Structure 1
């Protein structure tokens, strides 16, 4: 078994840092022929549900149910975890950043959704590092800038993650070959934000095993003496010995086939040396043919149909050289099925759905010749075609309503189309989303225009009431109209109504003359003298 004939050692640390709860989670499982490691950072604040733990358990359960080293399988593991978080989002939306590594003890595939990371070291040198699905990474990629993403303000602004409402698109790597002495590292942001890649590589010079390596890395992290230490997780895998398969098996097959061919290639006048040499050559071709067939099957399973087509073609050409009708027909059938699928995909992308269905059905018929080759893939494509047709019909229906300016019906049709598109990961979903945005803009413009008309009608009603000296109703109409103008941000009209409102208020509340008058100015001077003399007499008394 692969596990018994290889040597992979794993060690990890996952700590809460300065916080009461650790929302990170790491786990792995080693099977006889496959192994899977998963590290997740929880991004939500739910106090009861632990999104990171849910995601890890869902991925490992899916992996153990059907272990596979294919990109489509890894995508399926992630999608199940994504859907599980969405289904459990009852109080708050659960979300998480994940990195997953799957290996058959000789090769690996890794996948990322968010900014949890994968590092691959060889000879104490960084060989490969995953890219974050963040705005910071996108800015760096677009501008070809090489500064440290750890220092970028947008490093935590994620464009993709588990639990995202729409457009969940994880990055899934191609197969990567492992070598004896390789070191793999999985880390959440709480770790890699404070420990750079040079320090990770330097620490390898001091470490003899994964336990010592993770301890050294933790010391580097804590030596920063940050006031706040986030949750952090780091897992290291030391690949002391990879599983070796191809050379031994290839040599074995070559010897067996060569021995069989020597018996059949002995012809009159040929030397034994020539016979042995020719037999070995043919044996090598037979093994190459088998390798092309198996590689083509792997590519086919990963939905990499162009690559599968090339491998099947190479294998069939070798079968022709060997004059092997069995494998020539077998590989020829696989070649035709793959080409028909490619043709169907191209027709579907071009909107030629009848042609696409015709190609898929032909592929299905061809595949029945070779134990229903590609049957599952083709059935899924045909099932998706039904959905795609419904998507296109709903989109066309929306276009028709949009063109007749019936925007509410257009929006309903587009939303129906987009819901189906998201369900099958249809590539045209983004175009439908654009149509929805355009329709919502039109509806917003329509509502604004309707409000403006209502405000203008109220203002006109206020003018009529003012002309009739019905100032109370005029004021009421002006105030309502002004509120609508404020909502629609028509500031000039808001100010215009402010003047009208002031005029009405003056009419309703006219300014009265001052009741306090200057008494002395109204009295007769002689009367003043009399009052003055009377005061003197009273004073004398």
Structure 2
């Protein structure tokens, strides 16, 4: 009777957000020896059939028919739900993203199809997070980068999901051990896109019951004040006590511990060595904590908030291991302020200026509690908001002109935006630079095309002159066209015109073929006239007078 000898508490919320219909669905069952929790997000547009509800009920139905914690059985449960969705796809193809947790109250297995997630927290820190089956996750994994993909543009481009017509391959993990005090969070994309794992961990410090935890997480989500709130599901499982193994196994562990104690007594001084080792470990953790905080401060000053966030998180984890509440809270607050600034920057880049301003104001307000931490940075960002708006407008105008193929106008707008972005270290400046390079490439391509058209016109004029036997003009046209083709690196055209120039030259300056009838006699062959003969010849004027 594993359930009776363990303590698992579950609380959940599933809401429609800004929509009339909630396409999410959550349910669970706890049997004597094994339990199953399922959270699903419907991805289709069918207004009559809830694909999420269908999937959850199908899985729990099969689970209760034959409860098991084997990976093979869990795959069968998912396949059954897959078949149900495919068979019910009458008007539209039913699709859903699913996360499943199956536990025997001492271990668990996680299964995922899509981007619904499981977060596993231990001692207040993230121990495990399920991997999405999305293009965004694949891009990040292929580049071997540990980035949060909550705002990645391809996060909803799923490579696998319930209802996929072909090659459906859900992920099923190996067994993972649970410990007393563990917390499991199952959620859909409507929640994790706006609430980070750091905030989830922070919220655990303030609650003792799963109901309090889900309520607090919902408050964090809604505090974002999005204009559109998607369907969201949050389910929290507090593992207060795991099931302990049988007495036989307990005796085995007792014997192992006894043997270890005997070895310690024989060796002598083992306890002293252990204490010294623990003292050394604590000292190393203290140095590690301070180093992470120092590095975080330097990154923060340089405006590299992503790296500062990572350093503060690692420093806070070290403080937790040291049981140092003062530094833990200090680093948690610095981490929180840094995250607010990052969220503000992301909102500004997305054109959500009101949201960005709220994030910066909140960061400034929270920074006052720890000696105005980040005051200069947040005040500067607030002061830069007008400039950021101007940058966004210039970029928008550039995009409009680019789409209209007014590349010169687009380039002018992008350059104006970048000129304003550089002095304030605007985070979107690299994207503007890329737009400038793309526009310059388009302009260069157009210029090349125009040159080629001009060269073709000159070549055509040369052909016309050649046809009229105006060989000198033809050569002039061909030469001009040849120069342009050389500039545009059209070597085949250059060689073709070389032959045309040679043909025109041959026509203009033909090679003599020797004396022939009707041809002029060279001067040296004309016999010279004597003076008498020349004197007796009548002049042209005399011939005209005589009428000759």
- Shorter-chain TM range is 0.3 to 0.5
Task: Give the TM-score of the pair, scaled to structure 2.
Answer: 0.46
